[in-house]
Amino acid sequence: MPSPSDAPRDLPDRVIREALRHPANLRAFLQQTVPALADGFDCERRRLLDREFPVEDWRRREADLPFEIPYRLGEEELWALVYVLIEHQSSEDPVMPLRVLYFVVLYWERQWRAWEQKTPPKPPLRLSPVLPLVLYTGTGPWQNNRTLHDLLGEPAEFHGFVPQWSPLFWELSDHDADELLASGEAWQEVLAVIRAQGADPPTFERIYVEALRRLAPVAAHDRVRWYDLVRAIVSWALWRRPGPERQTLLAAAQATQTDVDRQKEIGLMGQTIAESIWEEGRLKGRAEGQLETLRGTLRQLLADRFSAVPEALVGRIESCSDVDRLSAAVLRVSHIGTPDEIGL
């Protein structure tokens, strides 16, 4: 069983992303973040845009969860872009405001081009409203840039010409696990488990078991939502908690269900997650083996050519975990005049 640090880098994104695809969870998140707007959205009719936005040049930007959702404004209905980005502690993005703005501009550019292609007389160009949201699951407060202005340097006299732009941040660390658990909302009960990830074993198990127990009624009226939320909780627990807790947590999850079929479902779910963990570990082991082979080959080639290899360079070789860079360095050995020209 991997330790929390060995879990897939995108696990927090993946778990939350899958949960937010369900309209009830998306609606609950909007009620958390923008309560004044939430009731206007018809989340049942949301449509998830392609996760890759093509650009005319060679770049492609991957989005997180860009939804188009109908929004009711009096008697009028219009479509709005609700762009949700999931961010966690290990990958806090310093260019987040620019990243969000870039995607939104691409979205508006599509509308602009569609408007240009219309046959005259054209209606006035009206861009769709956008709601940029960052869901941050880090254990502490967001420590990086929040606005476009935070990315600007000198001279300050130019700052007034830059748009006032900032995504809306919702930070999990602002909320206590028990507070989320007591909310009565299934989506927040999942967040309670994520919030408690660093707690001691008894505290985590208490939050985990209570969240699963509270989800049981969801199965009666929305089996798909129940399954997705339970899978999110169990996946998170088995990946993020220490290995010795795994069997206890899986058995505890099954015990929260009085329905035999749901107990079996959780058992099969746990088996599938365990297989994913095993496969992830196998692939990681293979990658580590390849890296060690490349490091050893590079050290030997440099020693054969130059006799003495600087200790600092040996340290850089050992710390490099980029297969492509190491492979390129191996090929460069015969073309360099000194060890330091290797480029690591």
Question: Could you give the number of structural domains in the chain?
Answer: 2
Kindly give, in sequence order, each residue whose CB lies less than 8 Å from that of residue 108, ignoring residues fewer than 6 positions away: 127, 128, 130
User: What is the structure's pLDDT at 57?
Assistant: 41
Q: For 292-340, how does the pLDDT look when each residue is reduced to its tens digit (9 = 90+)?
A: 888 888 888 888 888 888 888 888 888 887 777 888 788 888 778 888 8
The Cα angle at residue 310 between residues 308 and 315, in degrees rounded to 5: 130
Closest CA to 230 of 260, 200, 187: 187
Q: Is the pLDDT of residue 254 over 80?
A: yes
- Of 14-28, 139-153, 319-333, which gets the smallest average pLDDT? 319-333
Q: Is the pLDDT of residue 273 over 50?
A: yes
Tell me if 78 is assigned to some domain: yes
Tell me if 256 is assigned to some domain: no
Tell me if 36 is assigned to some domain: yes
Q: Is 234:253 a contact under the CB 8 Å cutoff?
A: yes
Closest CA to 261 of 310, 316, 219, 215: 219
Same domain, 170 and 22: yes
User: What is the structure's pLDDT at 238?
Assistant: 84
Same domain, 166 and 294: no
- Residues forming a β-bridge with 135: 86, 170
CA distance 261 to 299: 57
Q: Is the pLDDT of residue 183 over 90?
A: yes
Closest CA to 197 of 178, 177, 171: 177
Token pair listed for 161: 């010409």
Closest CA to 273 of 236, 248, 301: 236
Tell me if 50 is assigned to some domain: yes
What pTM was computed for the model?
Answer: 0.74
- Of 62-76, 126-140, 276-290, 309-323, which gets the smallest average pLDDT? 276-290
Tell me the percentage of the chain whose pLDDT exceeds 90: 50
Tell me if 218 is assigned to some domain: no
CA distance 51 to 61: 8
Same domain, 165 and 303: no
Tell me if 27 is assigned to some domain: yes
**Mean residue pLDDT across the chain:** 86
Kindly give, in sequence order, each residue whose CB lies less than 8 Å from that of residue 206, ignoring residues fewer than 6 positions away: none
Tell me if 204 is assigned to some domain: no
336 CB burial (10 A radius; 0-12, 13-18, 19+): middle
Domain that holds residue 21: 1-150+160-174
Same domain, 166 and 300: no
Tell me if 98 is assigned to some domain: yes
Other Cβ atoms less than 10 A from the Cβ of 248: the count is: 13
What is 63-76 written as a DSSP string? -SEEEEEEEEETTE
Same domain, 168 and 287: no
Q: Is 38:27 a contact under the CB 8 Å cutoff?
A: yes
Q: For 82-134, how does the pLDDT look when each residue is reduced to its tens digit (9 = 90+)?
A: 999 988 766 678 999 998 999 899 999 999 999 999 999 999 999 999 999 99
Same domain, 301 and 166: no
Other Cβ atoms less than 10 A from the Cβ of 334: the count is: 8
In the three-class reduction of DSSP (H, G, I as helix; E, B as strand; rest coil), residue 79 is classed as: strand
CA distance 206 to 237: 12
Token pair listed for 312: 């600092």
- pLDDT bin (cut points 50, 70, 90) of residue 288 is low
